[in-house]
Amino acid sequence: MSLVTVKNLWKEYGDNVVLENLNLNIEAGEFCTLVGPSGCGKTTFLKMLLGQENPTRGTFLLDGKPFPEEPGVDRGIVFQRYSVFSHLSVLKNVMLGIEFDQSPLMGRLFGQARKAAEAEAMAMLEAVGLGDAAHKYPSELSGGMQQRLSIAQSLVKKPKILLLDEPFGALDPGIRADMHALILDLWEKNNLTVVMVTHDLHEGFYLGTRLLVFDKVRHDPHAPNAYGARITYDIPVGDTRESVLEEIDKTIKV
Ligand SMILES: Nc1ncnc2c1ncn2[C@@H]1O[C@H](COP(=O)(O)OP(=O)(O)OP(=O)(O)O)[C@@H](O)[C@H]1O
């Protein structure tokens, strides 16, 4: 059984058709990268995977069951803009995820449970290369370090799917290369399933095991919202001619 099953899925906001008739299965362990022109519904698709948005029609299953209608710990998300708490230390930012998981009402743990959470959070910080920054505050971190913290926050909850929405878009090229190495390492070591949106086709093509391209194939110049995006390419990474990549590159640049 696929981890995610999408059949004849449509998403509309009023009369704006965003996604039309999507069909795909995502298997556990895949690293899917998602590219497409601005506004074609990539983030909307991630939000449906997260449980923040529901499809208008169609089948959307997680582990063969209807998608939970609320975000759950089985899905973690990292956005381009950092979503850390500025008044908490790096360590506390990561511990918070564990505390809310184990103590949903109070969001606090005590005694042994707190010590265990602290050790777990510390191990996660070491894994993302932030061990030495555990007692700093987010404002004292560079952009790349803040993004490492966001990833640690998501991963400490051991999600089945890690959703990344242009996580490295705001970073310098050198730092971005470090982050690529980090995310590939975490993906491999933690048997993660990753769905990542990027604007950068080469990033998508370098990182994933599978490249998905969303694009509108039908256009009505008098009613620009009448048709939604479809999956125009669904290709395994590492097995594609340069000419196909050039073709995709043209479609995603708007
Ligand atoms: N909550 C909402 N209510 C109404 N319309 C929305 C909502 N969220 C998104 N949309 C619309 O859905 C369409 C797709 O938006 P979305 O953010 O998913 O695109 P995107 O491909 O991620 O774009 P970008 O690459 O620019 O981030 C846009 O037309 C947007 O205006």
Q: What is the pLDDT of residues 82-107, one digit of tens each?
A: 678 899 999 999 998 887 776 666 66
Percent of the chain exceeding pLDDT 70 equals 93
3-state secondary structure of 159: coil
Q: Chain-wide mean pLDDT for the chain? A: 86
Highest mean pLDDT of the ranges 98-107, 115-124, 231-240? 115-124
- Please determine, for residue 254, whether its predicted confidence score (pLDDT) is greater than 60: no
Tell me 131's DSSP state.
G
Mutational test site, ligand 1, from 13, 45, 195, 230, max ligand atoms within 8 Å of CB: 13
Q: What confidence score (pLDDT) does residue 226 get?
A: 73
Q: Is the pTM of this model over 0.90?
A: no
**CA distance linking residue 185 with residue 181, whole number of Å:** 6
The torsion angles phi and psi of 29, rounded to 5 degrees, stand at: 95, -10
Q: What confidence score (pLDDT) does residue 106 get?
A: 65
- Residue 13 in contact with ligand 1 by CB distance below 6 A: yes
**CA distance linking residue 7 with residue 169, whole number of Å:** 30
Q: What confidence score (pLDDT) does residue 76 get?
A: 72
Give me the long-range contacts of 91-94 (CB less than 8 A, separation at least 24): 91/118, 91/121, 91/122, 91/125, 91/134, 91/135, 93/138, 93/149, 93/153, 94/121, 94/124, 94/125, 94/149, 94/152, 94/153, 94/156
- Please determine, for residue 197, whether its predicted confidence score (pLDDT) is greater than 60: yes
Q: What confidence score (pLDDT) does residue 119 get?
A: 93
- Residue 175 binned pLDDT confidence (cut-offs 50, 70, 90): confident
Q: What confidence score (pLDDT) does residue 232 get?
A: 94
Mutational test site, ligand 1, from 42, 52, 212, max ligand atoms within 8 Å of CB: 42
User: Where is average pLDDT lowest: 24-38, 181-195, 232-246?
Assistant: 232-246
ipTM, 2 dp: 0.96
CA-nearest residue, atom 14 of ligand 1: 41
Mutational test site, ligand 1, from 10, 35, 40, max ligand atoms within 8 Å of CB: 40
- Per residue in 134-171, pLDDT (tens digit) is 999 999 999 889 988 998 998 888 888 899 998 888 78
Q: What confidence score (pLDDT) does residue 240 get?
A: 65
Which amino acid belongs to residue 52?
Q
CA-nearest residue, atom 31 of ligand 1: 39
- Per residue in 1-53, pLDDT (tens digit) is 899 999 999 999 999 999 999 999 999 999 999 999 998 999 999 999 988 89
Degrees to nearest 5, angle at CA 48 with 42 and 53: 110
- Residue 228 in contact with ligand 1 by CB distance below 6 A: no
Task: Report how far ligand 1's centroid is from the alpha carbon of 133 (Å).
Answer: 36
**CA distance linking residue 120 with residue 162, whole number of Å:** 19
Burial of 111 (0-12, 13-18, 19+ CB in 10 A): exposed
| C-alpha distances out from residue 192 to 28, 155, 163, 230, Å | 7, 9, 10, 26
- Residue 41 in contact with ligand 1 by CB distance below 6 A: yes
**CA distance linking residue 108 with residue 169, whole number of Å:** 34
In sequence order, what E strands does the chain have?
4-13, 16-26, 31-35, 57-62, 65-66, 75-79, 161-165, 193-197, 210-216, 229-236
- Residue 213 binned pLDDT confidence (cut-offs 50, 70, 90): very high
- Residue 47 in contact with ligand 1 by CB distance below 6 A: no
